[in-house]
Amino acid sequence: MQIEFGKYEGAGNDFVIIDNRERVFEPRPALVAALCDRRFGIGADGLMLLEEECGADFRMRYFNSDGPEATMCGNGGRCMALFARHAGAAGERMAFAAVDGLHRAEVLACGDDAGRIALGMTEPHGFAEAEEGYFVDTGSPHYVRFVEDVERVDVRGEGRRVRNLPAFAGTGGVNVNFVEVAGEGTLKVRTYERGVEDETLACGTGSVAAAVVASRVRFPQVRSIDVQVRGGLLNVAFDVVGGRFSDVRLTGPARRVYSGVFRPENF
């Protein structure tokens, strides 16, 4: 059996996406990992399924590149929104369910293959100081540490160490973000992602984590923060009411790289 897929990327975070509304694909962890393998498979930071959902345009399911179903992915959410538009599953404005709740997205601009997407995120929670930095859950658990020069950080080595600290065992480990303040309302961020177990070119929920932590401890009057990641530029905007963040929006690019087919039995 052949299964159609799209290869999408958002600021360098890349994904295999499948329209699974007819349940044609069974996401076995070993198969997901094989498809995401960059040498023997299609190659991706993760795999996503678009599925039916009562009360929403669709459901987004996200799987890490090592196989298991995982928590929310912000760059993946933007790519999924563009994929849904391409697949005819939604229009310019949409609401979709994910593991962390309901998200709203808007396609702000769209060509044949590329678009700019604004994605509504769930309310950040669980703020705490931890391990010389900060912890916050933005749909996925994140650790944020401010550094003087993000380019000098050993993201792979130090990220792996922090990701596996006992302090974060209760969340299954954390994604680790190293953040340089480049100016008021401007950050440079590099992220070590669990599941990928390496640095990625961008992390959407990590960019949100860096932005809300920076707003809380570095520039509390700012409500829109530009986040420079290795794969491009993202923007995180939000409101703050009574010390709580609300109406959090992650805006950035998404692009269809190519479409193709595969046979599960080949993996």
200 known member of a binding site: no
Length of the chain: 267
Could you say which of 54, 73, 79, 110 is catalytic?
Answer: 73
Same CATH topology for 3-120+254-266 and 125-252: the answer is yes
Could you say which of 36, 79, 110, 203 is catalytic?
Answer: 203
The reported pTM is: 0.95
111 known member of a binding site: no
Find the mean pLDDT for residues 237-253.
Answer: 96
75 known member of a binding site: yes
pLDDT of the residue at 259:
98
For the stretch 69-128, pLDDT in tens is 999 999 999 999 999 999 999 999 999 999 999 999 999 988 889 999 999 999 999 999
Question: Are residues 247 and 238 in contact, defined by beta-carbon separation less than 8 angstroms?
Answer: yes
pLDDT of the residue at 108:
95
Q: Which CATH number fits domain 3-120+254-266: 3.30.465.10, 3.40.50.1000, 3.10.310.10, 3.90.1170.50?
A: 3.10.310.10
pLDDT of the residue at 71:
93
For the stretch 175-191, pLDDT in tens is 999 999 999 999 999 99
pLDDT of the residue at 176:
98
Find the mean pLDDT for residues 141-151.
Answer: 98
> How many CB atoms are closer than 10 A to CB 172?
13
Find the mean pLDDT for residues 216-233.
Answer: 96
Q: Where are the domains of the chain?
A: 3-120+254-266, 125-252
> How many CB atoms are closer than 10 A to CB 102?
13
Cα distance between residue 234 and residue 224, in whole Å? 11
164 known member of a binding site: no
| CATH H superfamily, domain 125-252 | Diaminopimelate Epimerase; Chain A, domain 1 (3.10.310.10)
193 known member of a binding site: yes
CA atoms within 13 A on the CB side of 6: 25
Would residue 54 show up in a list of annotated catalytic residues for this protein?
no
Would residue 203 show up in a list of annotated catalytic residues for this protein?
yes
pLDDT of the residue at 17:
98
